[in-house]
């Protein structure tokens, strides 16, 4: 599984597509298509475009929230928050071979996601981020460390946890030392796609 995920940004379909194209051009291999409050027909169109772009670049295409749209465009999987479709229902709809990621904010969330059989867990936010409405309580590095320590204390296998929420390049080393598998970045990559090479170097 890729250690760097790009979460798409943009207020229009043109902006979204351009940002996804740039990220792929600079070597991103995992795109999560996320466009909140988009008109449904435009979001479907963006997902169709993104799936094709990702396929052309041998990259993974994950759709945020919308299980039926992920199925419709034959995306590689879906990322679900707690208010979205359940993992169990998503698995029924998409089948065993698709990737299902789930959001988590607390230790009990992580345990629940592990029980549900997510392929990876998006744990966050690391810090404040303006890209997310209704932000969950901020974890900070201490929060991540405590959750990993609690898993170790219970002798539980550490799942593939991806840090999310205001993550920048300089955070990666410390997150990896803590035991976090990878990162999902949005703002820094959108504004400076050439930084992807640096991200990948540090994450190796």
> How far is the C-alpha of 151 from the C-alpha of 114, rounded, in Å?
11
Q: Among 44, 22, 40, 41, which Cα is nearest to 31's?
A: 22
* Whole-angstrom Cα Rg for the chain: 16
Q: What pLDDT is stored for residue 132 in this prediction?
A: 65
Q: How many CB atoms lie within 10 A of CB 128?
A: 10
Q: Is the peptide bond before 125 cis (omega within 30 degrees of 0)?
A: yes
Q: What pLDDT is stored for residue 128 in this prediction?
A: 87
Flag residues of the chain having pLDDT under 70: 131-132
Q: How many CB atoms lie within 10 A of CB 14?
A: 10
Domain boundaries, the chain: 4-203
Q: Does domain 4-203 have CATH number 3.30.2320.20?
A: no
> How far is the C-alpha of 196 from the C-alpha of 198, rounded, in Å?
5
Sign of CA dihedral 2, 188, 7, 161: positive
CB 162 within 8 A of CB 123: yes
Structure tokens at 86: 């359940």
Structure tokens at 91: 């698995």
Q: List the alpha helices (DSSP H) in 75-170.
A: 87-94, 107-116, 140-153
Q: Whole-model pTM?
A: 0.96
Structure tokens at 68: 């039926």
CA–chain centroid gap for 39, Å, is: 22
């Amino acid at each position: 599984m890729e250690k760097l995920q790009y979460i798409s940004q943009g207020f229009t379909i043109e902006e979204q597509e351009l940002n996804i194209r740039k990220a792929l051009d600079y070597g991103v291999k995992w795109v999560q298509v996320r466009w909140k409050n988009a008109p449904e027909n435009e979001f479907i169109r963006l997902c169709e475009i993104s799936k094709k772009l990702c396929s052309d670049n041998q990259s993974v295409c994950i759709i945020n929230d919308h299980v039926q749209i992920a199925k419709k465009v034959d995306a590689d999987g879906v990322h679900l928050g707690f208010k979205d479709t359940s993992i169990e229902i998503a698995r029924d709809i998409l089948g065993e071979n698709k990737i299902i990621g789930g959001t988590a904010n607390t230790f009990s969330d992580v345990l629940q996601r592990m029980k549900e059989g997510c392929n990876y867990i998006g744990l966050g936010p690391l810090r404040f981020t303006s890209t997310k409405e209704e932000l969950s309580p901020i974890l900070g590095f201490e929060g991540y460390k405590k959750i990993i320590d609690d898993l170790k204390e219970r002798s539980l296998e550490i799942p593939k946890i991806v840090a999310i929420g205001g993550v920048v390049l300089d955070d990666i080393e410390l997150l990896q030392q803590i035991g976090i598998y990878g990162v999902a970045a949005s703002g820094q990559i959108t504004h400076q796609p050439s930084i992807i090479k640096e991200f990948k170097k540090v994450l190796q």
